Structure 1
Amino acid sequence: MKMKRGELVGFNGCFGYDYHQDTKTITVNETEAEIVRLIYDMYLQENGCGTIAKRLVELGIKNKRGTVEWHDHGVMGMIKNEKYKGDVLLGKTFSLLNQKKVG
């Protein structure tokens, strides 16, 4: 139903983006996006997620909650996140719960 209304589905406030409830749109948060780029650059330079998380803490970089707390699993989540990779596919699942029975 959300897709039919043009609303975002599965967007939980990704780091690097701002969600605007009033217009139901997202925009790039350039300050956070620069940090996302830094994370990917470090990963491409063969740094592990633990090393990246440690470096972000050393640099005093705040996460989406506004705290200087980074963990390897959070960094890996960003690296694997389809929204950052540009590989989002909506409507991957379909529920028959609200469908009328035919026949």
Structure 2
Amino acid sequence: METFGDKIRVARESKGLILRQVASSLDIDQAIISKFERGERKPSKEQVEKFAEFYHLDKNQLITTWLSDQIAHTIYEENNIEEVLKVAEEKAKYLKAIQDEK
């Protein structure tokens, strides 16, 4: 299963780019991009959007991968993963409904 880091590394390599080139174009330190690719550091949503635009990747798919990485990392050691996800989904829908009413 591909992580956010996998996706941006594959995109970079498929374009024949080195980290220095990507770092220069995105104004993100190349060491930080390397850590993103290895899953050692988590990018901000703004940075995820920059990568999507730079690599011409579907922004929604890349954000979904990034968010799912965060959620999976947070709950993977829990015994009741399915229940946690179900309750979180219900809460997210509730919060979205409240926001939509405003």
Question: What TM-score, normalized to structure 1?
Answer: 0.30
* Structure showing greater relative contact order (alpha-carbon pairs closer than 8 Å, 6 or more residues apart): 2
Question: Higher Cα Rg: structure 1 or 2?
Answer: 1
Structure with the largest fraction of helix = 2
Question: What TM-score, normalized to structure 2?
Answer: 0.30
